[in-house]
């Protein structure tokens, strides 16, 4: 609850600060302060110090898992503003407003994590998406950015409609928006409405997390949006949508889990296949990362599929590792002259430190041992094995994780084994604070790869 309140308040503070702030850089500092406050609030929540202790008549549900997740994304926000804040300012004339929108998105992320009522889920998803439509189109002179924003907006509005229709059907079947009520379904006659509603909600949420076959917007939007905002979309927002999805299935529809599993298993397989195969053929690293985020969505969907304790732990670990790695990679990408693979040629010779950090991030995304990505994938696969009966899914996932190594290592190969050219390398030399931030992210990923249980210890004792 602290996060929702603080993020909303700080969003308004950022919005009003646009009046008083003369130097654009000061907006970054103010936003950084806000992200620290958010992280403090989340930390207090973890130890049950909250401004408001009410659950608003059951509209919200608090548990250790969601608080830990919110703490993770608030840490990710600190790193995001640390590494990418200066680039956010360069996008356009409204830095305070961009940060205000980012903070509003954070409060939406809080809602989709803590909801116990479909109404809150809907509001959360909307607060998560509407600022993103705007941020996608914030590079107003760029035609690609405009196209991406319009596409995202139209598709997003459509999927919102589907989500609402699904919620309405569920309401018709059970007479309530409350999640716990769906555990005990309505009457037999209303079962058909329940199924229709569930299917529609699944479709809408699959769109939000860009699972195949609802992924078509992702490459264009990720590619067209200004890179700092792509970073935000691909890390924090994506994870928040996933946690919302997983919470919904676990808390609301566990009685339907067998039926959901058969559908979600197909979604996972399709997402892994299309995402990974398409990523192999990309020329631009930014577009490759968009497809890789689809492919990673396949793995994260396993948390929705399995919805057991193992899956929740895996999702938490995935959240931490994936956010850190993506924020790090995109932060470097914003500093690159050229977004193609050739742009990375010879980076290791010029900037060995940045190349090393980038290697850690890419290896973590690929799931190489000793990085956090390995354990994140391991936990989710183990969760699927624990469900039983879906061995083909595990094998598919492992095969395509191996394929993903190819396109991640193509970047590493370019950095270390190819000579630099005029078009490659960074635009300007990076400051030491940027390097410290990157180092921090890389260290956290390595730490999570060596001691994954340290993060999960709290959760393990709860479940």
Partner 1 sequence: MNISEILFWFLSALAIGSALMMISSKNPVYSVLWLIIVFFAISGHYILLNAQFLAIVNIIVYAGAIMVLFLFVIMLMNLNAETEPRKNRWLKWAGTIAGGSLLLVLVAALRQVEQSGADKAVGEGNAGLIQNLGMVLFKDYVLPFEISSILFLSAMVGAVVIGKKGD
Coil, helix or strand at residue 178: strand
Element (H, E) at 1: none
The reply to whether 179 sits near partner 1 by the rule CB under 8 A is: no
Q: CA-CA distance, 370 to 358, in Å (whole number)?
A: 15
CB of 117 to partner 1, least distance (A): 8
Q: Which stretch binds partner 1 (CB under 8 A): 103-111, 221-229, 330-338, 424-432?
A: 103-111
Options 35, 84, 107, 404; binder of partner 1; rule CB under 8 A: 107
Measured between its terminal Cα atoms, the distance across the chain in Å is 21
**115, β-bridge pairs:** 60
**Mask of contacts with partner 1, 6-45, x by CB under 8 A?**
--x--xx--x------------------------------
**Helix, strand, coil percentages for the chain (3-state, nearest 5):** 80, 0, 20
Token output for 155 = 């598709």
Options 37, 123, 190, 199; binder of partner 1; rule CB under 8 A: 123
Q: How many residues bind partner 1 (CB under 8 A)?
A: 33
The reply to whether 134 sits near partner 1 by the rule CB under 8 A is: yes
Number of C-beta neighbours around residue 381 at 10 A: 22
Q: Which stretch binds partner 1 (CB under 8 A): 26-34, 127-135, 342-350, 378-386?
A: 127-135
Options 30, 81, 88, 111; binder of partner 1; rule CB under 8 A: 111
Token output for 373 = 């990505």
The reply to whether 151 sits near partner 1 by the rule CB under 8 A is: no
- The residue count of the chain comes to 463
Options 34, 41, 85, 137; binder of partner 1; rule CB under 8 A: 137
Q: CA-CA distance, 331 to 320, in Å (whole number)?
A: 16
**178, β-bridge pairs:** 117
The reply to whether 247 sits near partner 1 by the rule CB under 8 A is: no
Coil, helix or strand at residue 184: coil
Best CA proximity match to 17, nearest among 78, 74, 98, 91: 98
The reply to whether 56 sits near partner 1 by the rule CB under 8 A is: yes
Q: Which stretch binds partner 1 (CB under 8 A): 123-131, 307-315, 401-409, 434-442?
A: 123-131
**Residue numbers of the site for partner 1 (CB under 8 A)?**
4, 8, 11-12, 15, 56-57, 59-60, 92-94, 97-98, 100-101, 104, 107-108, 111, 119-120, 123, 126-127, 130-131, 133-134, 137-138, 140-141
């Amino acid at each position: 609850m602290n996060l929702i309140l603080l993020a909303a308040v700080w969003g308004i503070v950022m919005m009003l600060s646009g009046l008083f702030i003369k130097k654009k850089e000061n907006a970054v500092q103010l936003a950084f302060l806000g992200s620290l406050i958010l992280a403090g609030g989340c930390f207090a929540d973890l130890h049950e110090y909250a401004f408001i202790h009410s659950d608003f008549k059951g509209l919200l549900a608090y548990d250790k898992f969601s608080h830990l997740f919110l703490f993770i994304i608030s840490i990710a926000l600190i790193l995001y503003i640390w590494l990418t804040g200066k680039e956010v300012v360069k996008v356009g004339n409204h830095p305070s407003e961009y940060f205000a929108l980012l903070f509003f998105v954070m409060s939406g992320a809080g809602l989709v994590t803590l909801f116990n009522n479909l109404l809150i889920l809907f509001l959360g998803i909307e607060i998560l998406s509407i600022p993103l439509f705007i941020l996608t189109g914030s590079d107003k002179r760029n035609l690609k950015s405009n196209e991406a924003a319009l596409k995202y907006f139209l598709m997003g509005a459509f999927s919102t409609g589907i989500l609402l229709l699904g919620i309405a059907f569920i309401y018709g079947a059970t007479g309530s928006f409350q999640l716990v009520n769906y555990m005990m379904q309505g009457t037999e006659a209303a079962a058909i409405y329940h199924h229709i509603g569930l299917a529609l909600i699944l479709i809408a949420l699959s769109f939000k997390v860009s699972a195949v076959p609802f992924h078509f917007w992702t490459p264009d939007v990720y590619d067209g949006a200004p890179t700092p905002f792509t970073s935000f979309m691909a890390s924090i927002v994506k994870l928040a949508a996933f946690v919302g999805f997983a919470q919904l299935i676990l808390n609301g529809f566990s009685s339907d889990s067998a039926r959901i599993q058969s559908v979600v298993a197909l979604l996972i397989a399709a997402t892994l296949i299309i995402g990974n195969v398409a990523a192999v053929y990309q020329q631009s690293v930014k577009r490759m990362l968009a497809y890789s985020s689809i492919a990673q969505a396949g793995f994260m969907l396993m948390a929705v599929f399995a919805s057991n304790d193992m899956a929740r732990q895996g999702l938490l670990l995935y959240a931490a590792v994936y956010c850190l790695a993506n924020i790090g990679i995109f932060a470097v990408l914003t500093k690159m002259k050229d977004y193609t693979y050739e742009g990375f040629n010879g980076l290791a010779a010029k900037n060995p430190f940045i190349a090393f950090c980038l290697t850690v991030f890419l290896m973590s995304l690929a799931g190489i041992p000793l990085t956090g990505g390995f354990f994140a994938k391991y936990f989710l696969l183990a969760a699927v094995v624990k469900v039983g009966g879906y061995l083909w899914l595990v094998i598919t996932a492992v095969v395509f994780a191996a394929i993903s190594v190819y396109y991640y290592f193509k970047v590493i190969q370019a950095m270390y084994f190819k000579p630099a050219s005029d078009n490659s390398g960074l635009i300007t030399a990076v400051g030491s604070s940027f390097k410290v931030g990157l180092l921090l992210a890389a260290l956290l990923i390595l730490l999570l790869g060596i001691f994954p249980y340290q993060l999960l210890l709290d959760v393990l004792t709860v479940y």
